[in-house]
């Protein structure tokens, strides 16, 4: 199976580029499944039901979230009735929506998508290691499901790597999101799990993690500003990873970064 994961989609220019590119990418890369992190898609803060529907119509199968999942109030009701929109599994009990779900591909394969959020340098949530351990009790890679993919939305690189090592051999891939810079450490771990610390963002890289430069720079300078963060509006780069898995074991056979357009050097899977 071949799966594409795109990192945080930041603002309008990124969202439009992703929507227009997904049909092309699905065909060109012969993709079986597409997952994107959409928690910054609505002006950099949250996601709306309209944007979700546009993503699904473009050919995206699942949308994951993170610390900005709830920035748009309308999403609370929408997420309860839309199983393709996930929020972090380890949010406190009683949080609307779901943190994982099993989906069927067009050829009948089962893929479990799990969304986690980190604890280090983030607002308090349940322990992600214990949460996913409990989740995996009902799913066995290569037996009950064909693929298990984890989007770990976390700040600390050490926490992301620790999660990947903790899950090595039990899931197909652990890919980080949230930091919004594509890392150069794509690899397959000892027991067969694909890993990259951060997939990077889909957005304008002539920015400060997708936002217009002036406001964050002024805040670092200690200047008081009434202006709010706004997504940069230059040409967006699409960033993510393509993962190929074994039809027998569900473990990774290959992981390749994908970068298309904008300021970054392009990279395509062979």
Using the predicted structure, report yes or no on whether residue 144 has a pLDDT greater than 90. Answer: yes
CATH code where residue 122 lies: 3.60.21.10
Whether the CB-CB separation of 205 and 180 falls below 8 Å is answered with no
- Domain annotation covers residue 268: no
Residue-wise pLDDT for 7-50, tens only, equals 999 999 999 999 999 999 999 999 999 999 999 999 999 999 99
Residue-wise pLDDT for 233-259, tens only, equals 999 999 999 999 999 999 999 999 999
- Domain annotation covers residue 119: yes
Q: What pLDDT does residue 270 have?
A: 81
E-only strand ranges, the chain: 2-6, 33-37, 62-64, 100-104, 110-117, 147-153, 173-177, 187-188, 194-196, 238-245, 252-260
- Domain annotation covers residue 134: yes
Whether the CB-CB separation of 198 and 7 falls below 8 Å is answered with yes
Judge whether 68 counts as a catalytic residue.
yes
Catalytic residue among 68, 91, 100, 178: 68
Number of domains within the chain: 1
| Domain interval for residue 213 | 2-260
Q: What pLDDT does residue 224 have?
A: 80
d(CA 255, CA 4): 10
- Domain annotation covers residue 19: yes
């Amino acid at each position: 199976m071949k799966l594409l994961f795109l990192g945080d989609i930041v603002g309008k220019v990124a969202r439009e580029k992703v929507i227009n590119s997904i049909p092309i990418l699905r065909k060109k890369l012969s993709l079986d499944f597409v997952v994107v992190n959409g928690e910054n898609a609505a002006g950099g803060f949250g996601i709306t039901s309209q944007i979700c529907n546009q993503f699904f119509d473009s050919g995206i199968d699942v949308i994951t979230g993170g610390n900005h999942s709830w920035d748009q109030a309308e999403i609370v009701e929408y997420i309860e009735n839309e199983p393709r929109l996930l929020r972090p599994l380890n949010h406190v009990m009683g949080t609307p929506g779901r943190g994982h779900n099993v989906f069927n591909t067009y050829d009948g394969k089962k893929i479990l998508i799990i969304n986690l959020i980190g604890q280090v340098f983030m607002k308090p949530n349940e322990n992600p290691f214990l949460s996913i351990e409990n989740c995996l009790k009902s799913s066995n890679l290569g037996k009950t499901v064909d693929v298990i993919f984890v989007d770990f939305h976390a700040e600390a690189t050490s926490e992301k790597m620790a999660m990947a090592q903790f899950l090595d051999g039990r899931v197909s891939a652990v890919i980080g999101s949230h930091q919004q810079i594509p890392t150069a450490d794509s690899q397959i771990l000892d027991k067969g799990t694909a890993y990259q610390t951060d997939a990077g963002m889909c957005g304008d890289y002539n920015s400060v993690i997708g936002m217009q430069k002036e406001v964050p720079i002024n805040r670092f300078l200690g200047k008081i500003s009434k202006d709010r963060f706004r997504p940069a509006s230059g040409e967006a780069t699409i960033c993510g990873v393509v993962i190929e898995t074994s039809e027998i074991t569900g473990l990774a056979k290959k992981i390749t970064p994908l970068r298309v357009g904008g300021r970054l050097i392009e990279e395509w899977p062979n």
